[in-house]
Chains A and B, each alone.
Chain A
Amino acid sequence: MTVVTHEAGAPFGAAPPSGDSAIVTQGLTKRFPGGQVAVDALDLTVPRGSVFGFLGPNGSGKTTTIRMLLGLVAPTAGEYSVLGLPLADALPRVGALVEGPAFYPYLSGEANLYRFDAADPTAPGGTAKKRVAEALERVGLSAAAGKRFRNYSLGMRQRLAIAAALLGPRELLILDEPTNGLDPQGTREVRALVKEIAADGTTVFVSSHLLTEVEQMCTHAAIMRAGNLVAQGTIASLNGGLTTRVRVETPDVADAARVLGTLGLADVRMPDGGAAAVTADLGAHAPEDINAALVREGVAVRGLAVVRPSLEDVFVGLTGEGFDVDG
């Protein structure tokens, strides 16, 4: 069910050649017994070393895809490869957070980590103590190590799950909604941690239903919608399909539009609802020149802003729908 995607050296975990992929899927499909197609012919390529945002509203097939990648759910059709290795060999190098933390409530945080470490057949028991301590340290849970999981707060639970994902040396980290349920401070900490981990060369695959989160953390992204892959690529290339626009706030809407047109700006748009603003494609023009031209022509400029396309615009452009942020 895995595919050979690389030259002979790759399956042994040799230094990844450039252009190598951490995750490749081809036609990956999951149809549940009820007939519901959760993931439909997914062709995903996650480059090594990237921070890859896996974006989509809740129920778009992200978690099912992750479950297939981890061998929890068998695909109905298609193939996939994780780190170019047979799955059983790849998984010890993959740290995962799937659909929220799940631990033994009656055990301490530390004892929980020992438990999951014991389940990894490649983890040497001799170094468990050191690795557990390091993982707890890394997520800032050392002080609460002896506390029972039952008494952990939501943020601490999430952090413990990330600690479990960091128990061994990892080449790939799969984080399913890592900031779910975290307060703003916790969200910032997770983001910082992801950046730190990525800086070590670990590929990070983050699923999220939050566009801003992916924009801030990721180098690459894929957008899912109703089980289908809508787009994938670097954040820049995804945004590249859309143009940067300039927005002029003014009471003299008509004059402003005329000036922008004379300057050669494309797609000048007047507001529909009588809002005091005009927008146009910025193109190669410098915003300060536009401002100077408007003032020269006597247009009262209340505000001038450069509007860069966001992933949300990309999403809306691709699907013709708003993004269900609240899920």
Chain B
Amino acid sequence: MSTAETQERRTPGLVPVAETMRTAERRPSSESGQSEPAGPPVRLASAFWRLLGSELGLTFRRPRNQVMLAVVACVPVLIGIALRIASADEAVGGLIGSVAGNSLMLTFASFSFLVLLLMPIAVSVVGGDSIAGEAGAGTLRYLLAAPAGRTRLLVVKYLNAVVFAYATTVVVALSALVTGLVLFPVGPVTLLSGSTISVAEGLLRILVTVGYVGAGMAALAAVAVALSTFTEVSIGAIAATMILVIVTQVLRAIPQLEAITPYLLPSWWTKFDAVLRSPVDFGSLGQGLLVFGAYILLFGSIAWARFSGKDITS
């Protein structure tokens, strides 16, 4: 509400001395019983992290989200097994074919499969549910009356979605790494450009990929959270986000619309393959990160503008 304009209502100067004495006198009584609260309400610095912790606990303990992470973790295993079987029969080219020669390549192959659909679904569900889910359940009114604070709650909800986006990315990477190590030979990695890097550098590049893909998913989370502030039905926000993802993929596939592809998120998700160049194409990664940042800023602003002034009637 009007916190900004009401903050100045305190009368400066006059009150503090008397107030300090009163507060000091009252303190013991307020600790012994819960009858009269003493002094001004103190905003605790740790409170933000406590709310974020509560949010993360809800997200990661929720069976639905655990199932999504498990499904995402299964895909690299399936890809690994499929490639193992396929590579025994015939030679496969490109990124997929290179997996057979090196365990680390499975991680990149898995990302190229998952980054366009399955990972966005998982992120859309958590992001789209963020505000709409609370509104639909009616818990939003109690959170805001607590008072969680609208901006604070929105930031916590978004950070929670970002953490989930990164968790999804890390789960894919770890699952692919383990599967790769079990099924394929370990050794220096041959890149797309033909040059070879050490295992250690290969792992480092996987780390860079996780950072980049996670940022791409965080940008999608901003879209999902923004849409989530417009409805009280979380499935609506989730579906809207998914439809956006799918529509942008379709737009990318139409050659005549090539001019707009650089503005679409999915175009940049797949650009993680810049780490497979030699040397790493940091220019491309940097551009991608800029696009992600722009999406986060734009949709973060939309979410804030909508949520901070919204009448909560659910």
Binding site for B on A (CB under 8 A): 1-2, 4, 8-9, 11-15, 32, 67, 70-74, 86-89, 91-94, 96, 98-100, 102-107, 114-125, 131, 134, 164, 168-171, 200-201
Q: How far is the CA of A243 from the CA of B60 in the complex (A)?
A: 64
B51 at the interface (CB under 8 A from A): yes
> How many whole Å from B75's CB to the nearest CB in chain A?
27
The one of A13, A115, A122, A125 in contact with B58, judged by C-beta atoms closer than 8 angstroms, is A115
One of B10, B38, B54, B138 near A115 (C-beta < 8 A): B54
Cβ–Cβ contact B137 & A120, under 8 A: no
Chain A residues within an 8 Å CB radius of B9:
2, 4, 11, 86
Question: Could you tell me if A72 and B145 are in contact, using CB atoms closer than 8 angstroms?
Answer: yes
The answer to whether A118 and B53 touch across the interface, beta carbons within 8 angstroms, is: yes
Chain B residues in 8 Å Cβ range of A117:
146
For the complex, give the distance between the alpha carbons of A234 and B295 in Å. 57
What's the least CB distance linking B74 to chain A, in Å? Answer: 24
Q: Across the two chains, which residue of chain A brings its CB closest to B19?
A: A12
Q: Which of B29-37, B99-107, B262-270 contacts A (4 or more CB under 8 A)?
A: B29-37
Number of chain B residues close to chain A: CB under 8 A: 54
Q: Indicate if the CB atoms of B40 and A1 lie closer than 8 Å.
A: no
One of B187-195, B217-225, B305-313 at the interface: B305-313
A sample of 10 cross-chain residue pairs with beta-carbon separation below 8 angstroms, ordered by A number, consists of A12-B19, A72-B145, A88-B7, A91-B146, A92-B147, A118-B54, A119-B146, A121-B147, A122-B42, A169-B37
- A94–B145 contact, CB under 8 A? yes
* Most A-side CB within 10 Å, residue of B15, B54, B147: B147
Question: Contacts of B41 on A, CB cut-off 8 Å?
Answer: 13, 89, 92-93, 122
Q: Do B312 and A72 have beta carbons less than 8 Å apart?
A: yes
* In the complex, chain A residues whose CB is within 8 Å of the CB of B22: 12, 14-15
CA distance A35 to B94 in the complex (A): 63
Q: What is the minimal beta-carbon distance from A287 to any residue of chain B, in angstroms?
A: 43
On whether the beta carbons of A122 and B43 are closer than 8 Å, the reply is: yes
B27 at the interface (CB under 8 A from A): no
Per-residue contact bits, chain B 1-42, to A (CB 8 Å; 1 contact, 0 not): 111011101110011001100100000001000111111111
Q: Closest residue to B40 on the A side, CB-wise?
A: A12
Give A104 to B61 CA distance when docked, in angstroms: 13
A119 near B51 (CB under 8 angstroms)? yes
Whole-angstrom CA separation of A72 from B30 in the bound complex: 29
Cβ B312 vs Cβ A122 within 8 A: no
| B290-314 Cβ-contact flags toward A at 8 Å (1 or 0) | 0000000000000000000101110
Contact among B37, B143, B313 for A116, CB-based, below 8 A: B143
Q: Is B139 an interface position by the 8 A CB rule?
A: yes
The distance from the CB of A49 to the nearest CB of chain B, in whole angstroms, is 12
> Which single residue of chain B is at the shortest CB-CB distance from A104?
B139
Interface contact B309-A74, CB-CB below 8 Å: yes
Check if A11 sits within 8 Å of B137, measured CB to CB.
no
Taking CB atoms, residues of chain A closer than 8 Å to B46 are 125
In the complex, A14→B7 CA distance in Å? 18
On whether A67 and B313 interact (CB within 8 A), knowing A86-B7, A125-B50, A200-B35, the answer reads: yes
B286 within 8 A of A: no
Select from chain A the residue with minimum beta-carbon distance to B309: A74
8 A Cβ contacts from B89-114 to A: none
Whole-angstrom distance between the alpha carbons of A2 and B148 in the complex?
19
For the complex, give the distance between the alpha carbons of A123 and B44 in Å: 8
Chain A residue contacts of B50, Cβ below 8 A: 118, 125
CA distance A327 to B53 in the complex (A): 42
Q: Are B11 and A8 in contact (CB under 8 A)?
A: yes
Residues of A within 8 A of B10 (CB): 11-12, 86
B149 interface hit (Cβ, 8 Å)? yes
Closest residue of chain A to B153 (Cβ to Cβ) is: A119
Residue among A94, A118, A122, A170 with max Cβ neighbours from chain B (10 Å) = A118
Known A1-B1, A67-B312, A125-B50; contact A164-B142, beta-carbon cutoff 8 A: yes
With a cutoff of 8 Å between Cβ atoms, the chain A residues found around residue B38 in the complex are: 13
Contact B147 A201 (CB under 8 A): no
Measured in the bound complex, the distance between the Cα atoms of B44 and A121 in whole Å is 6
* B33-78 with Cβ < 8 A to chain A: 34-44, 46-48, 50-51, 53-54, 58, 62-63
Q: B51 contacts A9, CB within 8 Å?
A: no
Residues of A contacting B7 in the complex (Cβ-Cβ under 8 angstroms)? 86, 88
Given contacts A89-B40, A121-B43, A169-B35, contact A102 B147 (CB under 8 A): no
Contact A102 B142 (CB under 8 A): yes
Is the Cβ of A87 less than 8 Å from the Cβ of B62?
Answer: no
The answer to whether B138 and A118 have CB atoms under 8 Å apart is: no
| A169 with B34, Cβ < 8 A, contacts A2-B2, A72-B312, A102-B138 known | yes
Contacting residue for B2 out of A8, A87, A98, CB 8 A: A87
Establish whether residues B145 and A91, one from each chain, have CB atoms under 8 Å apart when the complex forms: yes
Nearest CB of B to A327, in Å: 19
Tell whether, in the assembled complex, residue B139 and residue A102 are in contact, meaning their CB atoms are under 8 Å apart.
yes
Which residues of the partner chain B approach A74 to less than 8 Å between Cβ atoms?
A: 1, 309, 311
B245: shortest Cβ distance to chain A, in Å? 28
The 6 residue pairs across chains A and B that have the minimum distance between CB atoms: A102-B138, A86-B6, A119-B146, A118-B54, A91-B147, A71-B1
